[in-house]
């Protein structure tokens, strides 16, 4: 996917091929731990006309492999905000799965607090409401590569044949280690709720996120909060992609985009 011009020496966004109509709104998509922008490459045709999907490419993965991964959320947001601001010149929505949900939600709060702008809708997926997040005391710097691979196996988001490939692991483990540190060390700091509508997606068999965790997102916004549960585990996002995109399209259309 073609990148946008660099902002502050970094390339943050990848256009997701899809609709051809002029964009009236933008949807920014934030990947889960260890993943890159290409996990959203098939999303464009499933979204409404007039919605331009942009996948966020975090440092240390895919074509940003040579960039140092960031393991601290505040540091990541400080670098990310200047890269995204030029593209927030029209209505925008955020989508994030698992770790990506934490990033996009905290990005929303920072944009509101520091720049006075807010997303017209947020989609959070496969993630506990932030007040239920459990940080871990053990850091990931001392985890062995074997332990990191075991974590990837447990998450069931990476084909086993890739995890048995040493060359593939050399590419993904540094970013995954940083992402896991960011995710597990996150501490929710209560503040004023957002005001935008929120759509929450979860998997019926996700061992880490149950329905009550999903419903808790309603406490973090004064806008309406819609919870939808799909069949599958933590990565229902892949197995139920058509249904997820249909639900997102309805929500975006309901916001007056199409």
DSSP E strands, the chain:
13-15, 25-30, 51-56, 92-97, 121-125, 198-203, 225-230
* pLDDT computed for residue 183 by the predictor: 86
| Residue of 33, 59, 27, 73 whose CA lies nearest to 46 | 27
For residue 164, is pLDDT > 80?
no
Domain total in the chain: 1
Residues 55-76 have a mean pLDDT of 92
174 or 205: whose pLDDT is higher? Answer: 205
* pLDDT computed for residue 3 by the predictor: 46
Does 8 map to a domain? no
Does 66 map to a domain? yes
Computed over every residue of the chain, the mean pLDDT equals 86
For residue 82, is pLDDT > 70?
yes
Answer for the pair 202, 209: CB distance below 8 angstroms, yes or no.
yes
Most confident segment among 30-44, 57-71, 106-120, 136-150: 106-120
CATH number, domain with residue 181: 3.40.50.1820
Does 6 map to a domain? no
**Predicted confidence (pLDDT) per residue in 91-102, tens digit:** 999 999 999 999
Residues known to be catalytic: 98
Does 141 map to a domain? yes
For residue 135, is pLDDT > 60?
yes
């Amino acid at each position: 996917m073609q990148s946008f011009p660099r902002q502050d020496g970094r390339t943050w966004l990848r256009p997701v091929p899809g609709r051809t109509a002029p964009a009236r709104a933008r949807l920014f998509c934030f990947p889960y731990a260890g993943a890159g922008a290409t996990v959203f490459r098939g999303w464009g045709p499933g979204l409404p006309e007039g919605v331009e999907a942009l996948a966020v490419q975090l440092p240390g993965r895919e074509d940003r492999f040579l960039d140092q991964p960031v393991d601290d959320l505040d540091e990541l947001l400080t670098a990310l905000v200047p890269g995204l601001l030029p593209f927030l010149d029209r209505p925008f929505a955020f989508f994030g799965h698992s770790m990506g949900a934490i990033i996009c939600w905290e990005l929303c709060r920072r944009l509101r607090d520091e720049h006075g702008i807010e997303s017209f809708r947020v989609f959070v997926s496969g993630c506990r409401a932030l007040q239920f997040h459990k940080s871990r005391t053990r850091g990931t710097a001392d985890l062995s590569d074997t332990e990191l691979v075991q974590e990837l196996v447990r998450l069931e988001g990476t084909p086993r044949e890739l995890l048995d490939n040493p060359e593939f692991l050399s590419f993904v483990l540094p970013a995954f280690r940083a992402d896991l540190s960011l995710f597990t060390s996150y501490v929710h700091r209560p503040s004023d709720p957002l005001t935008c509508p929120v759509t929450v997606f979860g998997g019926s068999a996700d061992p880490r996120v149950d329905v009550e965790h999903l419903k808790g997102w309603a406490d973090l916004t004064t806008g309406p909060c819609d919870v939808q549960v799909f069949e599958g585990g933590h990565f229902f996002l892949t197995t139920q992609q058509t249904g997820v995109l249909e639900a997102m399209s309805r929500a975006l259309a309901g916001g007056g985009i199409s």
